[in-house]
A and B are shown apart, each in its own frame.
Chain A
Amino acid sequence: MTPTLAIALTAIFTAISCAVLGAFLVLRKMTMVGDAISHAVLPGIAIAYLLSQSRSSLPMFLGAALVGVFATVVIEILSKKWKVQSDASIGMTFTTLFALGVVLITYWSDKVDLDQECVLYGEIAFVPFNTWTLAGQSMGPIALWSSGILLLLVLIYTFTGYKGLLMSSFNEDYAAVLGIGVGAWNLSLMSMVSVATVISFESVGAILVVALLVAPAASAYLISQKLKPMILLAALFGLSGSLLGYMISAQLDISIAGGIATMLGVQFALILTITQFSRTS
């Protein structure tokens, strides 16, 4: 497998996974919670990194994802139980956890080989060099495997949980009256977002993973009348945005993550313009 293909596939797998989960975040008006999770996982990553001394181990993924779920629980408790304004709860939780992550990384700078640059912007260009071997045989880049497994997980989750996700996103009270555990659905979605964030983190970094969660889904929302097409469109926009972004950054020799996020933004602006025009004419 060529390095270019490995990078492109990793970008596509992460983009589609995030886009599909992002569709539900947009519909629940919770995109900022996605933002919060993506920042809050940093201390989890730092601690897991210190303990396991490897970049892509399973314990690290799980540990970091757990911190993401912890962040959503804290946000819920702050806003629902202690009546802190909901946007302030989100802002407080993720900035504090993210700052803690930065503190840990700098404090352990001699032990943890994670530099802040890569935490913020990712290092998808290095994906081909970080490979793993099984029984003496090279299995290819780790990130490619993890993002592929992530995509599989997200698809299984969305497919089996479709009715629960639809119902709890549209009308939580009604679902609750039917005895459907809306809290559990919320938590499961947030856990999936956490896992997706941690896995995407390495490729695109803490800041730009939010673009993957929000932009394709928000673009799809503009032109969708039903949920299934919206999810498919979000996945498609994730795919096209990450491919175009990668091609442009390869041409111009710029940051790949930056190129992808910019293209996602451009895509959104284009679709928005088209829908606005077709509405007025």
Chain B
Amino acid sequence: MEKSIEVHNLTVSYHSKPVLWDVDFELPKGKIIGIVGPNGSGKTTMLKTVMGLMKPDSGYTEIFGQPLDKVRERVSYVPQRESVDWDFPADVMDVVLMGRYRKNNLFKRITKEDRRIATEALEKVNLLEFADRQISQLSGGQQQRVFIARSLAQQADIYLMDEPFVGVDAATEDAILKLLRDMKNEGKTVVIVHHDLQTANEYFDWIVLLNTRLVAAGPKEQVFTKELLQEAYGGRLTVLSKLGDLISDTEFPLREPDFKEDQPQG
């Protein structure tokens, strides 16, 4: 297996409480990979540590077999949408062009080539007609697509996205999924932090199941088992699955008795 990300014996803490504890796994290249786990299980911390934004207490991470500093330009990060102020005075094109900023061109002007690449990225997320729009006037789904376009403009080999499906409309969700598959077909690796179990199985090829400790990492068929999910989600999942069993056992009526199907609205 060709490796994209390696995480070795990683322990990270926040306010001296461990958020990740001795986590160790390797991820393949050219797959759509989900980092899945309940709230507070350290998913975002994992991503931020791989991206060098948080310092581990022990252990280390590598991308394409090298430390992050050697491969920065091949790595693209899509932070959580809420992590920036969308009232910032900038238009869509300004933000996407940031994907072209580099350490060594920071003091140079933006080139025509940069603009062409940014335009192409906007086209891929179906936002070209919004290029001149101020970012505060976008919907949540459009904001998410702007972030993805910015990371596409970076023309990286691996993309790390933090909860890109949160608070987006169905159209955006479809657009993102289609894009992810296109990226995979081009041989890119996509790693996505995701909290929704319902959709995880459908979206990803490979899953890392996390709950402070590593529960499992592997192809989804091997990881998405009842036992492992229960281990990751603990009591919360047990209650849900019991309810599910109850419904299927007794064919519990899902409709209230006084609800009529063709009831007029209002």
Contacts and interface: CB of A to CB of B under 8 A. Distances in A.
B107 A163 contact: yes
B134 A225 contact: yes
A47 interface: no
Contact of A177 (B15, B51, B85): B51
Given A163-B101, A225-B134, A170 B90 contact: yes
Contact of A176 (B53, B110, B150, B154): B53
A166 B135 CA distance: 14
Interface in A171-210: 171, 173-180
A178 B76 CA distance: 8
Contact of A167 (B51, B98, B134): B98
A169 B90 CA distance: 11
Contact of B52 (A160, A169, A177): A177
A173 B90 contact: no
A226 interface: yes
A83 B16 CA distance: 12
Nearest to A27: B88
Interface in B197-234: none
Interface in B54-75: 69, 72-73, 75
Contacts of A148: none
Contact of B91 (A160, A163, A180, A226): A226
B244 to A, nearest CB: 39
B94 interface: yes
Contacts of A164: 106-107
| Interface-centre pick from B95, B102, B106, B150 (highest chain A CB count, 10 A) | B106
A32 interface: no
A22 to B, nearest CB: 14
B83 A180 contact: no
B75 A177 contact: yes
A37 B107 CA distance: 27
A83 B15 contact: yes
Nearest to B109: A163
Contacts of B30: none
Contact of A225 (B15, B52, B79, B91): B91
B255 interface: no
Contacts of B84: 170-171
Nearest to A83: B15
A174 B89 contact: no
B77 interface: yes
Interface residues of A, number: 27
A180 B101 contact: yes
Contact of B88 (A160, A170, A176): A170
Contacts of A83: 15
Contacts of A27: 88-89
B90 A171 contact: no
Contacts of B110: 163
A164 B106 CA distance: 6
B151 to A, nearest CB: 9
Most B Cβ at <10 Å: residue of A83, A161, A170: A170
A170 B106 contact: no
B112 interface: no
B103 interface: yes
Contacts of A229: 89
B83 to A, nearest CB: 7
Contacts of B77: 173-174, 177
Contacts of A275: none
A244 interface: no
A221 B79 contact: no
10 tightest Cβ-Cβ pairs between the two chains A and B: A177-B77, A225-B134, A224-B89, A179-B72, A230-B89, A179-B103, A171-B84, A177-B51, A164-B106, A227-B89
Interface of B: 15, 48, 51-53, 69, 72-73, 75, 77, 79, 83-85, 88-91, 94-95, 98, 101-103, 106-107, 110, 134, 150, 154
22 contacts: A27-B88, A27-B89, A160-B107, A164-B106, A167-B101, A170-B84, A170-B90, A171-B83, A171-B84, A173-B48, A174-B79, A175-B101, A176-B52, A176-B53, A177-B51, A177-B53, A178-B72, A179-B69, A179-B72, A180-B103, A226-B89, A227-B94
Given A174-B77, A225-B89, A226-B94, 15 more contacts: A27-B88, A163-B101, A163-B106, A163-B107, A166-B90, A167-B98, A170-B84, A170-B95, A171-B83, A173-B51, A177-B53, A179-B102, A179-B103, A180-B103, A226-B89
